[in-house]
């Protein structure tokens, strides 16, 4: 293998690294978001109300302005 062929193949593999890191970061963020959603689903209605989540029926009773 000549030097030019070797350097072009290594530069191609290096150019794929940012895409792999981006994919890893997105996968990690999706897993954390899923984990947080699961934790919120397990909280009681009163706890959700205490931490500021709107009541489910609040949207239905609001009047449009």
Q: What is the mean pLDDT of residues 10-20?
A: 70
Domain map (residue ranges) of the chain = 17-61
Contact in structure between 43 and 37 (CB atoms under 8 Å):
no
What integer best gives the mean pLDDT of the chain? 76
Phi/psi of residue 57, each to 5°? -85, -5
Contact in structure between 21 and 29 (CB atoms under 8 Å):
no
Q: What pLDDT is stored for residue 26 in this prediction? A: 93
Handedness of CA 40, 45, 49, 55 (dihedral sign): positive
Reply yes or no on whether the pLDDT at 5 is more than 60.
Answer: no
Reply yes or no on whether the pLDDT at 35 is more than 90.
Answer: yes
Percent pLDDT > 90 in the chain is: 23
Q: What is the mean pLDDT of residues 9-31?
A: 79
């Amino acid at each position: 293998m000549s030097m030019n062929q070797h350097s072009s193949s290594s530069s191609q593999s290096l150019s794929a690294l940012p895409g792999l890191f981006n994919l890893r970061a997105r996968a990690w963020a999706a897993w954390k978001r899923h984990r947080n959603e699961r934790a919120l689903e397990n909280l009681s209605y009163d706890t959700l109300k205490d931490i500021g989540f709107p009541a489910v029926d609040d949207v239905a009773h609001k009047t449009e302005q």
